[in-house]
């Protein structure tokens, strides 16, 4: 159960700063301990020191953001002026540095394949909001997506997240000051869709609403359960198409359809990515994280006037796009193994 906001602000936020100071002071000890514990492992698996460096750097950045948020709260009349642009700038600053850390510590590289727009398409892109429908897989995919939207495409992302993420004080403070939404784990689907509709309806040409239609990372068990639910609802066509996907869960169309209907002027962007698909839990990260990490991403944009307008046509269209993503992932994996 999520604690009240006053508890999160007065206890959890200062606690992050205290833990950060402790970790920075004791950093040499942690490095020695983790290095010693990794000696019996082959070199590619000696991940301990890398995780320690990244963890301490992450905590330091989070503490800096919390202090900056406190300053913005004070200078904004104790929250009456939310300084939205400054908070977006703060998120961009944080994610840029986290991305830089991942590049240096985990040798992360990201290859984004995107269509080359015509001059007319380029001009149109700057005048319309976008709805981003992304595959959900691997660690930090949402962080990387938000980073690229902010840093490369100068968009202001909006996202619906699990309420439990508010246990992270930095996310709790910053995200709640911007047009985003946190939803409880057991929230009714209608409530989630209503939040998506609310966020989409107020977008302008600089905004991007990010949705992960699968609702979670792919596993064979989740795929079986998702197909069973489709069958129980009498959605035989959707269940058959879901069985033909090797790497994805069937998309849940409710949120995507609600966003498109609430903001019909928005272009829709589909994002496929692969590279760290098998790293789902913290244990997976510890056991399998490679010496160097490479993510390949592909996205394509569908202009607003080419998006279907009838609900049933939108659902069929969404499944067709998901099948394209699944085929793209298969092709990427075959290319890596050939």
Q: What DSSP string runs through 293-325?
A: -EEEEEEEEE-GGGS--SHHHHHHHHHHHHHHH
Whether residue 227 is predicted with pLDDT greater than 90 in this model: the reply is yes
CB-neighbour burial class of residue 313 (10 A; exposed 0-12, middle 13-18, buried 19+)? exposed
**Residues 308, 314, 318, 320, Cα dihedral to 10°:** -70
pLDDT tens, position by position, 22-75: 999 999 999 888 888 777 666 655 678 888 999 999 999 999 999 999 999 888
DSSP per-residue codes, 23-85: HHHTHHHHHHHHHHHTTTS-GGG--HHHHHHHHHHHHHHHHHHHHHHHHHHHHTTTTTS--HH
d(CA 299, CA 297): 7
What is residue 234's three-state secondary structure?
A: coil
Within 8 A by CB and 6+ apart from 328, the residues are: 272, 298
d(CA 208, CA 224): 32
Total of domains in the chain? 1
pLDDT at site 147: 92
Whether residue 243 is predicted with pLDDT greater than 90 in this model: the reply is yes
pLDDT at site 34: 86
Within 8 A by CB and 6+ apart from 73, the residues are: 79
Whether residue 129 is predicted with pLDDT greater than 90 in this model: the reply is yes
Q: Give which of 266, 280, 281, 277 is closest to 326, Cα–Cα.
A: 277
Q: Are 128 and 304 within 8 A, CB to CB?
A: yes
Whether residue 76 is predicted with pLDDT greater than 70 in this model: the reply is yes
Q: Give which of 181, 190, 183 is closest to 209, Cα–Cα.
A: 181
Taking the CB of residue 194, how many other CB atoms lie within 10 A of it? Answer: 16
Entry pTM: 0.90
Whether residue 178 is predicted with pLDDT greater than 90 in this model: the reply is yes
pLDDT at site 80: 55
pLDDT, mean over the chain: 88
Between strands 267-274 and 294-302, the pairing is antiparallel
The residue segments making up the domain with residue 211 are 5-337
Comparing 43-52, 75-84, 262-271, the range with the smallest average pLDDT is 75-84
Q: Are 194 and 261 within 8 A, CB to CB?
A: no
Taking the CB of residue 211, how many other CB atoms lie within 10 A of it? Answer: 24
d(CA 292, CA 282): 17
pLDDT tens, position by position, 274-318: 887 766 666 666 665 666 678 889 999 999 999 999 999 999 999
Residue ranges of alpha helices (H) inside the chain are 5-7, 13-25, 27-37, 48-75, 84-105, 119-125, 141-151, 169-176, 189-201, 220-232, 236-243, 253-262, 282-288, 311-337
């Amino acid at each position: 159960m999520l604690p009240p906001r006053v508890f999160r602000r007065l206890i959890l936020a200062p606690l992050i700063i205290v833990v950060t100071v402790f970790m920075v002071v004791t950093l040499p000890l942690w490095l020695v301990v983790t290095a010693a514990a990794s000696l019996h492992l082959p070199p590619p698996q000696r991940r301990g020191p890398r995780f320690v460096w990244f963890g301490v750097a992450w905590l330091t950045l989070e503490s800096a953001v919390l202090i900056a948020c406190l300053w913005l709260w004070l200078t904004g009349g104790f929250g009456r002026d939310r300084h939205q642009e400054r908070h977006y700038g703060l998120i961009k600053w944080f994610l840029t540095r986290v991305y830089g850390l991942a590049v240096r510590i985990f040798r992360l590289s990201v290859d984004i394949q995107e269509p080359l727009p015509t001059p007319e398409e380029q001009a149109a892109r700057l005048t319309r909001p976008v709805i981003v429908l992304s595959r959900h897989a691997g660690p930090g995919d949402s962080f990387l997506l938000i980073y690229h939207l902010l840093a490369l495409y100068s968009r202001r992302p909006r996202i619906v997240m699990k309420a439990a993420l508010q246990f992270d004080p930095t996310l709790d403070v910053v995200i709640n000051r911007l047009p985003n939404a946190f939803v409880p784990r057991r929230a009714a689907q209608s409530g989630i869709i209503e939040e998506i509709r609310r966020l989409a309806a107020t977008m302008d040409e600089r905004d991007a609403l990010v949705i992960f239609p699968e609702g979670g990372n792919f596993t064979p068990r989740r795929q079986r359960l998702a197909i069973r639910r489709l069958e129980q609802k009498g959605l035989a066509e959707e269940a058959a198409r879901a069985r033909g996907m090797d790497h994805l869960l069937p998309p849940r169309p409710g949120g995507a359809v609600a966003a498109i209907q609430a903001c019909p002027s928005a272009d829709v962007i589909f994002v496929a990515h692969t590279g760290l698909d098998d790293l789902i839990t913290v244990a997976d990260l510890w056991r399998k994280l490679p010496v160097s990490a490479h993510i390949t991403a592909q996205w394509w944009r569908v202009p607003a006037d080419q998006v279907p307008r009838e609900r049933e046509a939108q659902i069929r269209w969404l499944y067709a796009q998901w099948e394209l993503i699944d085929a793209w992932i298969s092709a990427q994996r075959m290319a890596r193994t050939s």
